[in-house]
Amino acid sequence: MKQFETALPEQYEALKKQANYTSSWRERLDAVEKLSAYQHDKIIDLLKNRMQHDTVYKVQLAAYEALSAFGEDVEKPLPARFDIIKDTDKIFLRVKKSLPKDHTVADFADKLKRMRLDVFDAYEGDKGAEFMNWLEERWTKL
C-alpha cells in the first residue's frame, strides 16, 4: 500500500485557500492534487468537500481518487446531469441584455468572463474543448 505523509504540509493554509478559489477550477485542481499526498484529517475533510461540492467534475474526481487512495469509503461522484450552476440562463440573459443588440458570441463570452468569472470558469472546466460550442448554443437560444 502506498505511504502518505501524515503531517499537514507547511503550505496547508495557502493550499486550503487555493482549493476553495471559486474563480479558477485549475487552481482548485492543482491544490487537490498537491494535497492528495498528505493523509491528514483536515485534508480528508477538505477533499470530501471538493468531491461533493465542486462545480467542476474534474476537481470532484481528483478529490475522489485521492480519498480512495487513502482508503476512505467514498462513492465516485457522477457528472452533473443539468446545469452545474443554479439559474445559469438568468445569469446568461443578464449578460446578454447588457450588450448591444448586434454583439457576437465572442463579445458575450468576454462579458460573461468579466461579469461572472466564477460561472465562466466553472463551465469552461466542465465542458473542456466543447466550451465555446456549448456557450454559442446557449447564447443562440436566449
Give the angle subtended at the CA of 117 by the CAs of 113 and 119, to the nearest 5°: 100
Q: What pLDDT sits at residue 1?
A: 60
CB within 8 A of 51, min separation 6: which ones? 60, 63, 64, 67, 74, 77
pLDDT of residue 84: 92
| DSSP symbol at 8 | P
Categorize the per-residue pLDDT at 2 as very low, low, confident or very high, splitting at 50, 70 and 90: confident
Exposed/middle/buried for residue 3 (C-beta within 10 Å: 0-12, 13-18, 19+): exposed
Q: 25-60, pLDDT tens digit by residue?
A: 999 999 999 999 999 999 999 999 999 999 999 999
Q: How confident is the model over 10-17, as a mean pLDDT?
A: 96
pLDDT at site 3? 82
pLDDT (tens digit, 9 = 90+) per residue, 62-83? 999 999 999 999 999 999 888 9
Query: pTM of the entire structure?
Result: 0.84
pLDDT at 55: 93
Cβ(108)–Cβ(135) below 8 Å: yes
